[in-house]
Amino acid sequence: MPRTLNIAIEGCCHGMLDNIYSQLLTRQKQTNKKIDLLIICGDFQAIRNVTDLGCMSCPDKYKQIGGFYRYYTGERVAPVPTIFVGGNHEAGNHSRELYYGGWVAPNIYFMGNSGVLKFGGLRIGGISGIFKDFDYAKGYYERPPFRGHSRSSMHHARSYEAFKMLQIRQPLDIV
């Protein structure tokens, strides 16, 4: 019989990894059940440094480095395997570097603009970004340096990403 996975789901993270992990560890102690995976569903804010702040599309009052840099530099390691899709409040330069996804820090994986991965026997898929009908049918025209509309439009989901996901023949367990 397959082992049951305990998966935690977080909405927008907004760079508050330390708080999220602290709450997960507290929950593990309270329930005596190990959390096997954390899925973060957007606005992760993998801000590595001050340069990344300049590539974010959000009001200045929300531009904060947050705690991700400690995981990026190796000062801390995520206590739970973590996967995430991006939202509309990401550092565009960083997410563009990982269009196809990849490890952003030890134990933390970005699924890219769209992607599927397997964890503990589960197939997990996701599309990063938010839906804006006026950009949905467009290609990716944004180029560095990201300024003006391109700073926000680069986080608008494109039909191309949905089309790629529709090509998947094996069923997904989590989307």
Query: What are the strands, taking DSSP E only, across 11-144?
Result: 37-41, 82-85, 102-105, 108-110, 114-119, 122-127
Task: Give the number of C-alpha atoms closer than 13 A to the C-alpha of residue 2, restricted to the C-beta side.
Answer: 6
Task: Give the number of C-alpha atoms closer than 13 A to the C-alpha of residue 23, restricted to the C-beta side.
Answer: 10
Please report which confidence band the pLDDT of residue 100 belongs to, taking 50, 70 and 90 as the band edges: very high
Residue that is written with structure tokens 């602290």 in the block: 22
Question: Residue 51: its pLDDT value, please?
Answer: 93
Which alpha helices (H) appear in the chain, and where do they start and end?
17-31, 50-53, 68-72, 92-97, 133-136, 148-153, 159-166
Question: Residue 151: its pLDDT value, please?
Answer: 84
Radius of gyration of the chain (CA): 16
Q: In sequence order, what are the residues at sequence separation of 6 or more whose Cβ sits closer than 8 angstroms to the Cβ of residue 102?
A: 109, 110, 112
Q: In sequence order, what are the residues at sequence separation of 6 or more whose Cβ sits closer than 8 angstroms to the Cβ of residue 52?
A: 46, 91, 93, 94
Question: Residue 138: its pLDDT value, please?
Answer: 94
Three-state SS for 110? Answer: strand
| Whole-number Å distance between alpha carbons of 85 and 123 | 15
pTM of the model: 0.94
Question: Residue 62: its pLDDT value, please?
Answer: 82
Average pLDDT over residues 150-154: 87
Taking all residues of the chain, what is their mean pLDDT, rounded to a whole number?
Answer: 94
Both structure tokens of 106: 């030890």
